[in-house]
Chains A and B, each alone.
Chain A
Amino acid sequence: EIVMTQSPATLSVSPGERATLSCRASQSVSSNLAWYQQKPGQAPRLLIYGASTRATGIPARFSGSGSGTEFTLTISSLQSEDFAVYYCQQYNNWYTFGQGTKLEIK
């Protein structure tokens, strides 16, 4: 099973600043990597697929990069609605999720 490791577990950032979230795979997943946002009491929402393609309706402040085993989700200027938990998911070899990064207001 491919293990996905996200860091940090919690990230404290002020509104308007940039947030950088990391996701590492235990073996190469090529570009078969997605990012989701989840707010309390809600289902996850797809942000990024193919490591760097924004899903429909996702603002341009969200960007994804990386391939192989190292991936990054960047939120360029944090808005109040961006504070949530973020998960990465690989779909190269079956499907596994990272444990999540909680993005909180500093």
Chain B
Amino acid sequence: QVQLVQSGAEVKKPGASVKVSCKASGYTFTSYYMHWVRQAPGQGLEWMGIINPSDGSTSYAQKFQGRVTMTRDTSTSTVYMELSSLRSADTAVYYCARVGVSSGYSDYWGQGTLVTVSS
């Protein structure tokens, strides 16, 4: 069965960086793009960007350009999302979510990783 398992909660200070991992299993890793979506406490869903695990190509939401980097490791079927220059407004649950190659919706989601930014 398809599973996306994310790394554990993080607490970071303002100005630091955080790297969240998402390990995929139960399907061919390189056949499906992966979104990263975040959700601030009590707020809605916000798309951050997308990575193609096959070739590592990425597209980021303009809001996060210059601060976010998405990478993958095909040997471990893992995608990563690194966000730098953290501020309190980045406190949120970060999700990875699988996307069909010829679609844009997400059929499987990770459990989420809470990132707390606090001094």
**Using a CB–CB distance below 8 Å, which chain A residues touch chain B?**
1, 32, 34, 36, 38, 43-46, 49, 55-56, 87, 89, 91-92, 94-100
Contact = CB atoms under 8 A, between A and B. Distances in A.
In the A-B complex, the 7 residue pairs with the closest CB atoms? A91-B104, A34-B105, A43-B109, A97-B45, A95-B47, A49-B105, A99-B44
B110 A94 contact: no
B112 A94 contact: no
Given A49-B103, A97-B37, 8 more contacts: A43-B112, A44-B97, A44-B106, A45-B109, A56-B107, A87-B45, A89-B104, A99-B44
B30 interface: no
Nearest to A96: B47
B38 to A, nearest CB: 11
Interface of B: 35, 37, 44-47, 50, 59, 61-62, 95, 97, 103-107, 109-112
B104 A43 contact: no
A43 B47 contact: no
A94 B47 contact: yes
Interface of B is mostly: strand
Contacts of B104: 32, 34, 89, 91-92, 95
A91 B101 CA distance: 12
Contacts of B61: 94
Contacts of B110: 43
